[in-house]
Chains A and B, each alone.
Chain A
Amino acid sequence: MKQNNHSIISDVKKVKGLGSAHHGNGHWMAQRITAIASIPLVLWAVYSVFNLQGVSYLEFTAWLASPLNAILAILFVLNTFYHASLGTQVIVEDYIANFVFRKIKLIAQKLFFIALGVAVIFSILKIAFTMGI
């Protein structure tokens, strides 16, 4: 709701605005949970990258095709992108005051993370289903 410059409104009306949105707890919880989940997943990812140094393309795809590695890789991607999406949402809400611009930016970046996630997961599955034995 836009107040034009000529409306005479009290400070209380101004700060109460449109009232409480009655959400925020879910986002906050999801942010903590994905942060905690990222600890083992990132450790696994770093350990794997370290171990996979110098391997050939075939060795790498065979490694990724193993069910455990493929599942962990997908979880890693989902968790990371979900966490990044939640985090960037907070930054946008903090700094972009204009409602229309903020909403467009929020929707666009959510779609971006979904598209990116789907693309990466598709790639992992493709390798898993074509290179596996």
Chain B
Amino acid sequence: MAQFTLPKNSKVQKGNHFPAENQGENMKNFKLYRWSPDDEDNPRYDDFEINLDECGPMVLDAIIHVKDKVDSTLTFRRSCREGICGSCAMNIDGRNTLACLKPINEVKGDVKITPLPHLPVVKDLVPDLSVPYAQLASIQPWMKTETEAPTRERLQSPEDAEKLNGSDGKGPAGCILCFCCSTSCPSYWWNGDKFLGPAILLNAWRWIIDSRDEATGERLDELEDPFKLYRCHTIMNCTNSCPKDLNPAKAIAEVKKLMVQKQG
């Protein structure tokens, strides 16, 4: 059966409280999920009180503040701090999003932060993404051609390029592989080992509609599977959670339409 409750050693307990050094007018509490593989302790929520006048406006600024000033053992991923690298994805206030794009003042009350749901935790806010990465490799996300390589770049009309980029920049090529979508999808929670999930299916779609790629049929063949593709039941959580405003649910619907077309 699908597992609906956490095992005993994963139940989250109350942790430590860290009051802010300097009190002020703009105080905010951050409840951060903590777990370390180095001891036998259950995960816990540590409470960090932060004086918002001493840190930047985004949630990422607050957790960097904690790491720099309060507890240097706090572990999380981040790189670009501008929504491009996809590494700071986490669940903030009940929604998967990028910490660097999430303004603190959008959260009412305490800011509760956990790692992306339903993945094994490496440490604190860092989830283990090896399965999603392997799934990405499995769809062969590179251009496949039979036509002999030209002496210059392969040409693509502006209209065809727009299918990838979107007229508003929100086409499938805008995906930063943060996995906010996949880890918000109930189908991916239950069958994440076999269902490819919205992030990977959106990227598969990106190659299927690339006018230069010559493996369209093979790509569709590989996707036609009750688990890889058809575990998607159009629940739409994926599109709701994408911090880049992309539409993986629509990409999946388009793949299903092509499957119908392929049958003649």
Q: Which residues of chain A have a CB within 8 Å of any CB of chain B?
A: 10-12, 14-17, 20-25, 27-29, 90, 93-98
Can you sample 25 A-B contacts with CB below 8 Å?
A11-B130, A11-B133, A14-B193, A15-B194, A20-B225, A20-B228, A21-B227, A22-B224, A22-B225, A23-B224, A23-B225, A24-B225, A25-B224, A25-B262, A28-B230, A90-B233, A93-B226, A93-B227, A93-B231, A94-B2, A94-B187, A94-B190, A94-B191, A95-B2, A97-B191
| Size range of the chain B interface in the assembly | 20 to 34
Please name all residues of chain B whose beta carbon is closer than 8 Å to the beta carbon of A11 when the two chains form the complex. 130-131, 133-134
A-B contact count (CB 8 A): 71
A residues near B260, Cβ cutoff 8 Å: 25, 29
Kindly state the separation between the CA atoms of A21 and B227 in the bound complex, as whole angstroms: 9
Is B102 among interface residues, defined by CB-CB distance under 8 A? no
Q: Which residues of B contact A27 (CB under 8 A)?
A: 226, 230
Q: Report if B177 contacts A (CB, 8 A).
A: no
In the A-B complex, the 5 residue pairs with the closest CB atoms: A11-B134, A24-B230, A25-B259, A20-B225, A12-B134
Beta-carbon contact of B1 and A20 below 8 Å = no
User: A12-B134, A21-B225, A23-B224 are known contacts; what are 4 more A-B pairs with Cβ within 8 Å?
Assistant: A11-B133, A11-B134, A20-B221, A23-B225
Most buried by A among B2, B193, B225: B225
Q: With the chains together, A29 CA to B225 CA distance in Å?
A: 14
CB-CB under 8 A from A90, the residues of chain B are 233
Q: Which residues from A are CB-within-8-Å of B27?
A: none
CB <8 Å contact, B133 and A25: no
For B131, B137, B229, B230, the residue with the greatest tally of chain A CB atoms inside 10 Å of its CB is B230
CA distance A27 to B130 in the complex (A): 31
Q: Is B223 an interface residue (CB 8 A)?
A: yes
Q: Closest residue of chain B to A23, judged by CB?
A: B224
Is B135's beta carbon under 8 Å from chain A? Answer: yes
- Residue B118, interface by CB 8 Å: no
Closest to B192 in A: A15
Question: Which residues of chain A are within 8 angstroms of B190 by Cβ–Cβ distance?
Answer: 94-95, 97
Minimum distance in angstroms from B144 CB to a CB of chain A = 16
What B residues does A21 contact at CB under 8 A? 224-227
Question: Are B223's CB and A20's CB within 8 A?
Answer: yes
- By a CB distance below 8 angstroms, the chain A residues around B233 are 90
B1 touching A22, Cβ below 8 Å: no
Taking a contact as CB atoms under 8 Å apart, the answer to whether B137 and A12 are in contact is yes
**Chain A positions within 8 Å of B222 at CB level:** 20
Q: CB < 8 Å: which of A15, A20, A29, A96 contacts B193?
A: A15
